[in-house]
Amino acid sequence: MDQKTLIARVVDSFGGDPRITALFLSGSFGTGTADAFSDVDLLAIADPAEHEGLATDWRKALGAIAPIVHYNRLPHALVLNAITDDWLRIDLHIANPDHLAHTAQDSLKPLVDRGNLYATLRRETPEPARNPGRLGWMVGEFIRILGLTPVAIGRGEVELMTVGNTFLRRFLTDLLTIEINPRIPGGMLHLSRVLDAERMVVLASVPLPQLNADSAIASNLALARVFMPRAKALCASLGVEWPTAFEAATRRNLQRALPGQSIEW
């Protein structure tokens, strides 16, 4: 079974439920950017009183379509994740009608629309406002984690250094995304659809750490050399105060712990 067949069977078996006001494809199938590796994201709009019943019946309907080997309910919203035995991924979000107030036509594809809700949506997702507070927090966290490098070295925790490196790399990825400020950011597994070719090259240019101290140090410093100047420029453009004293103290701390390294960025 492929994704399109799965979607068709869901519409046939679950879309006919009269409790569902509308059933949309969201995610990459909703935006038209799906490929053979995409999961199937569904958004069901229903009266709140029907949500729990629909969630129970969804599990039954899905099991009748394909054997389910993994099923999970997220704690923060009524989002139900499932994986079939041939590893098709399908998620259902059951929401109130007012959820659509934050959604546009270019992010959804209607499968069932009894209330003609799709026609009431704005046509295009607006450009998101950049969040200066998050940028400032992210810069501070990058410098803090970078500054922990001597701690991991001193304790011989090379694996811990690679964990910290993962956080630094994620902050760089987020920074590059903020630079572009995409209207529809896409999922974690669709990074190449969000970042342009130049920024993907920037990410690829930073070496991944191996399980030895020299490699981890080199990767952390390479990330800093890419992140710091771009972050300073973005902070300046958005009016975010740069943590000058924190940066300077961190640079001095790294230089003391790594006397043979060039702590420049």
**Same domain (yes/no): 104, 37:** yes
**Same domain (yes/no): 197, 90:** no
Is residue 263 one of the residues assigned to a domain?
A: no
**Same domain (yes/no): 136, 250:** yes
**Regarding predicted confidence, which is higher, 157 or 199?**
199
Q: At what angle do helices 132-147 and 244-257 cross, to 10 degrees?
A: 20
Backbone φ, ψ for residue 24 (5° rounding): -120, 150
CATH number at residue 66: 3.30.460.10
pLDDT of 154: 86
**Same domain (yes/no): 198, 251:** yes
pLDDT band, very low/low/confident/very high, at 129 (cuts 50, 70, 90)? confident
Q: Global pTM?
A: 0.80
Is residue 233 one of the residues assigned to a domain?
A: yes
**Same domain (yes/no): 221, 174:** yes
Put the strands of the sheet holding 20-26 in their side by side order.
68-73, 79-84, 89-95, 40-46, 20-26, 109-113
Is residue 265 one of the residues assigned to a domain?
A: no
pLDDT band, very low/low/confident/very high, at 186 (cuts 50, 70, 90)? low
**Same domain (yes/no): 13, 59:** yes
Is residue 68 one of the residues assigned to a domain?
A: yes
pLDDT band, very low/low/confident/very high, at 156 (cuts 50, 70, 90)? confident
Domain that holds residue 154: 132-257
**Same domain (yes/no): 100, 195:** no
**Same domain (yes/no): 145, 234:** yes
**Does the pLDDT value for residue 223 go beyond 90?**
yes
Domain tally, the chain: 2
Question: Quick one: what percent of the chain has pLDDT higher than 90?
Answer: 76
**Does the pLDDT value for residue 191 go beyond 80?**
no
Q: Which of 100, 120, 140 is the last residue of a domain?
A: 120
pLDDT in tens, 201-215: 999 999 998 888 899
Is residue 264 one of the residues assigned to a domain?
A: no
Is residue 126 one of the residues assigned to a domain?
A: no
pLDDT band, very low/low/confident/very high, at 187 (cuts 50, 70, 90)? low
Cβ neighbours, 10 Å, residue 193: 15
Q: How many CA atoms lie within 13 A of 40 on its CB side?
A: 24
pLDDT in tens, 53-101: 999 999 999 999 999 999 999 988 899 999 999 999 999 999 999 999 9
**Same domain (yes/no): 52, 168:** no
**Same domain (yes/no): 143, 49:** no
Is residue 125 one of the residues assigned to a domain?
A: no
Q: Which of 120, 152, 182 is the last residue of a domain?
A: 120
pLDDT of 158: 85
Q: Which of 70, 85, 120 is the last residue of a domain?
A: 120
pLDDT of 78: 95
pLDDT of 189: 61
pLDDT in tens, 2-61: 999 999 999 999 999 999 999 999 999 999 989 999 999 999 999 999 999 999 999 999
**Does the pLDDT value for residue 182 go beyond 90?**
no
pLDDT of 212: 87
pLDDT of 188: 58
Is residue 127 one of the residues assigned to a domain?
A: no
**Same domain (yes/no): 234, 188:** yes
**Same domain (yes/no): 85, 59:** yes
Cα–Cα distance, 42 to 24 (Å, whole number):
6
Instruction: Give how far Cα 195 sits from Cα of 152, 191, 208, 233, Å.
Output: 32, 6, 19, 18
